């Protein structure tokens, strides 16, 4: 299995996804779009993972490479590649499929519960409980694209992801968020001092690491590639 990983910021890397890649003996190439990385040809990979970033999909004037990336994502989906989007990655996928992306009513930063849609319990989230706590770090949300299946919701965000066809999965939350990720989140929270009902403090962020599970992430990723 040959994978590429599209990256938009130095602090939002694949994190624990790299452990899964190594354990499965897959190959993954990182593409740093914010550093003028070139998009690979479609015959060079089987699946694509699109990670997060601090920008919004509608900031093409500030980040001109976003336009080309969205076109590339749509082409990859049309080519029947495995495509997985995380946070900004899922928002880019939604927009590439024609859905609107916009600020959510609440910012979510912290370890918060999500509820899985029954439609994906036997596939994308096979082996998962109906509800579990995972990490969130986003301010935007989106409408579910036409033809896609709603994936999950939280108390503060109705659309936490979607499944499109058999190989395309988008999630707003971060199953890959390990201790490495928390260091960046804590630094960001200390610097930006965001506030809100669903923004946790430093202690809560650090204590919430008990909710990270490599096994859970591995199961999710294996489910993604099962079709």
Q: Give the C-alpha separation, 157 to 41, whole Å.
A: 35
Q: How many Cβ atoms are within 10 Å of 41's Cβ, its own excluded?
A: 7
Q: How many Cβ atoms are within 10 Å of 147's Cβ, its own excluded?
A: 10
> Is residue 203 helix, strand or coil?
helix
Out of 12, 69, 108, 176, pick the active-site residue. Answer: 176
Quick check: is 176 catalytic? Answer: yes
Q: Give the C-alpha separation, 15 to 174, whole Å.
A: 10
Q: 113-138 b/e with 16+ CB inside 10 Å = b? A: ebebbeebeeebbeebeeebbbbbbb
Quick check: is 150 catalytic? Answer: no
Rounded to a whole number of angstroms, the distance between the first and last alpha carbons of the chain is 13
Out of 8, 87, 108, 138, pick the active-site residue. Answer: 87
Kindly list the catalytic residues.
87, 174, 176
């Amino acid at each position: 299995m040959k994978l590429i990983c599209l990256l938009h910021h130095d602090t939002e890397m694949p994190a624990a996804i790299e452990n899964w890649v190594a354990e499965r003996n897959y190959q993954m190439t990182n593409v740093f779009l914010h550093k003028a990385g070139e998009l690979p040809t479609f015959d060079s990979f089987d699946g694509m993972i699109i990670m997060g970033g601090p920008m919004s999909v509608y900031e093409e004037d500030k980040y001109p490479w976003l336009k080309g990336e969205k076109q590339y994502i749509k082409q990859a989906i049309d080519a029947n590649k495995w495509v997985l989007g995380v946070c900004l990655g899922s928002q880019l996928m939604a927009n590439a499929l024609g859905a609107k992306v916009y600020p959510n009513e609440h910012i979510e930063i912290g370890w918060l519960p999500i509820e899985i849609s029954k439609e994906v319990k036997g596939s994308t989230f096979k082996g998962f409980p109906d509800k579990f706590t995972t990490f969130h770090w986003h301010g935007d949300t989106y409408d579910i694209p036409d033809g896609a299946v709603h994936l999950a919701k939280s108390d503060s965000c109705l659309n936490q992801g979607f499944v499109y066809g058999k190989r395309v999965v988008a999630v707003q939350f971060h199953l890959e968020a390990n201790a490495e990720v928390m260091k960046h989140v804590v630094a960001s929270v200390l610097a930006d001092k965001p506030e809100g009902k669903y923004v946790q403090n430093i202690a809560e962020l650090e204590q919430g690491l008990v909710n990270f599970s490599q096994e859970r992430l591995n199961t999710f990723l294996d489910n993604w590639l099962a079709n």
